[in-house]
Chains A and B, each alone.
Chain A
Amino acid sequence: MNRERLAIELPGLSMKNPIMPASGCFGFGREYAKLYDLSCLGAIAIKGTTGDMRLGNLTPRVAESPSGMLNAIGLQNPGAEAVRDEELLFLNEYDVPVLANVSGSTPEEYLHVINTLKASKNVGAFELNISCPNVKTGGIQFGTDPEQAARLTQLAKEVSDKPVYVKLSPNVTDVVAIAKAVEAAGADGLSMINTLVGMRFDWKTKQPILANERGGLSGPAIKPVALRMIYDVRQVSDLPIIGMGGISNAKDVMEFLIAGANAVAVGTANFTDPFACPTIINELETWMDKMGVDHVTELMANG
C-alpha cells in the first residue's frame, strides 16, 4: 500500500498519517509499545509534563458516563527532566515525531518545561496545555482568558525554537476569541478540544464519584461540541488544527477533517480498545480506497 497518500505536513510534525494518540491517554507510549509498533502513528502527544514531578489527585480518578468518561488524574507525571532523560529517549527508538504537551502552574513553569525538552530531537513541536481542568492552579486559568492565553503563547514562542500549538479549552463562552488571541500571539497551531468540566454523584452515598469532585468529560459524548468549536475557529483562522474529542473510528476522523481539522488525536478510544490508533489508520485508508480518494487532504471540506 502506498502510505504516502495518508501523509501530512504540519508545523514541526512530519506525519505519516493524520492520526496521533491524544495527550494523557497514552502515557509516554511505553505500554502501547508492547502492543504495536509506535512508528505506525502519525505523531505521539505525550502526557502533560510539568517542571517537577507531580503525583496528581486522589482516587477515584475516573468515572464513566454515557458515551464518555470523566477523568481527574491531576497531571501526574515524572517532571520535565525525567521526561527528557527517560521517556523521550525511549520514544526516540521509534520513527515518530513527538508533540510535547507542556503544563504548569505559572508561566515560569511552562517555560522551564519547554527549555528542558526543546533540545530533544524527536520533539517536533510543543502543545501548550492551557486547558487542564484538574489542577488547582494554572492550566485552565490560562485558557479561559484571551489575554492570559496570548501572553503565555508569546512567552512560549520566545523561548521555543520549535512550533507551538495551543490546546484550547471548551469551557469558555467564546472559543473563537481565545483562538484569535493565541494566533495573534504567534501560535503555530491549535489543538482542540480539551475536556469539558463535569461531575457525577453516587446516588447511594450522595457524594461526588471523583475524589477531585470535578473532572474532564471526554469520549464520543463530546464529539459534536468539538466539531462545532473546530468549525467555528476554522471560519476565522488558517492555523493548522489538531482535532480531538471522542474520535473512535475512521468516519469520526473524516468528520473532524470536514469540520476544519488538519490532523486528529485519539483519546478515550485507546482505553476502550488499546489498538484503536492503528485500527483507525487502517480503516481510514480502506475508506479512501472505497471512496476513490487519492490523498487524505481531499477528505477535508475544501479537498
Chain B
Amino acid sequence: MYAKPMKVVRNREIAKDTYELILSGELVQHLHEAGTFLHVRVPEENFVLRRPLSLAAVNHELGTCTIIYKRVGDGTERITSARPNDRLDVLGPLGGSAFPVSLPKNADRILLVGGGVGIPPIYFAARQLTERGIPVSIIAGYADKESVFYEKAFYELPHSDVTIVTDDGSHGEKGTVIDIVKKQPAADWLFACGPRGMLRALKAEVPDETNCYVSLEEHMGCGIGACYACICESSDRRSYYKVCQDGPVFLAKEVYL
C-alpha cells in the first residue's frame, strides 16, 4: 500500500448519479489487479473516513487510472466536486484478493457479471482477459436507461459477447442479470460484482463446477484490516473474513452472502 496524492484528470457524470474519475500519479504504476481498490479521502476536513472506490481501468502508458463511483451520500457528493488538477489524498492499492484473471484458459467459458456500481471491476477484469485474447461473456445490469454507463466500452472489447439488461426494460433486455445468467450455458469461471442480493442469487444459481468469484462491497473504516468494520461471514458462519484485507474478491462458496 502506498499513500500518494493523485491528480484529477477528469471527473464527470457518465450516468445518473454515476461518475467517472480519472486520476494520474505515481501510484498508478502499482495498480494491476481487477478487484483491488483505492481508499480516497474526501476533500474536506470534517470527513474522517475514506471512501473505498474500485478500479475500472489502469493505463500504465498514460499513467492514469479510472474509478467509477456513485453519488450516494455526502462524502461521494464532495468527491464529485473535484476538478481537473485538484489533488486527492489516495491510499492504494488496497485489497488482498483480486479476480484471478490469470487462471482461466483460452477454451474455458468465462462469464463476467456486474450490477450497477459493481460494474467497474468487472469491466477491468474483462479488459485484462480480452487483452490476452481470452473470450468472455459479459452481463451488465442497471436499474434503468439513465443508469447505463460503459455500454460502448463493453461492446468495443474484442472477443466478447455483451448483454445489457435493465430492471425496467428501458434499455437492453428487461429483467435482472440473474435472468440472463439462467439463459446462458454454465460457465467454468464466473466473476461477479454488484449488490449483495444479486451475488446471493448468483451463488444459488451457479452449479458447483463453476469457479464463482464475487467482489464484495462493505462500509469500511481503515481499509487495511485493522478496524474490523468490513467483515463478511464465512460460509459456515463460524468466522469472519475482512473484506478489505482478505477480499474484496472471494470464492463464492467460502462466504455467507
Contacts and interface: CB of A to CB of B under 8 A. Distances in A.
Interface of A: 24-27, 30-32, 34-35, 47, 55-56, 59-64, 66-69, 71, 73, 76, 219-220, 268-275
Given A59-B231, A61-B219, A271-B221, 17 more contacts: A27-B225, A27-B228, A55-B239, A59-B230, A60-B218, A64-B48, A69-B48, A71-B221, A71-B227, A220-B48, A270-B222, A270-B226, A271-B50, A273-B3, A273-B89, A274-B224, A275-B3
B203 interface: no
B3 to A, nearest CB: 7
Contacts of A275: 3
15 contacts: A25-B227, A27-B227, A27-B228, A30-B226, A47-B228, A55-B240, A56-B240, A64-B47, A66-B46, A67-B48, A76-B240, A269-B48, A270-B226, A271-B48, A272-B50
Kindly name the residue among B1, B89, B222, B230 whose own CB sees the greatest number of chain A CB atoms within 10 A: B222
A62 B224 contact: no
Nearest to A210: B219
B226 A32 contact: yes
Interface of B: 1, 3, 41, 45-50, 74-75, 89, 91, 218-232, 239-240, 245
Given A31-B225, A32-B226, A56-B231, A62 B46 contact: no
Contacts of B1: 34-35, 274
B231 A271 contact: no
Given A55-B239, A68-B48, A272-B41, A73 B222 contact: no
- Chain B's interface: helix, strand, loop or mixed, by majority? loop
A242 to B, nearest CB: 19
A61 B224 contact: no
A35 B225 CA distance: 12
B221 A69 contact: yes
A270 to B, nearest CB: 7
A34 B2 CA distance: 11
Given A27-B226, A27-B228, A272 B3 contact: no
Nearest to B75: A64
A21 to B, nearest CB: 9
Contacts of B91: 274
Nearest to A28: B226
Nearest to B223: A271
A76 B228 contact: yes
Contacts of B230: 59, 61
A46 to B, nearest CB: 11
Contact of B226 (A25, A63, A67, A68): A25
A26 B240 CA distance: 18
Nearest to A47: B228
A73 B41 contact: no
Contacts of A63: 219
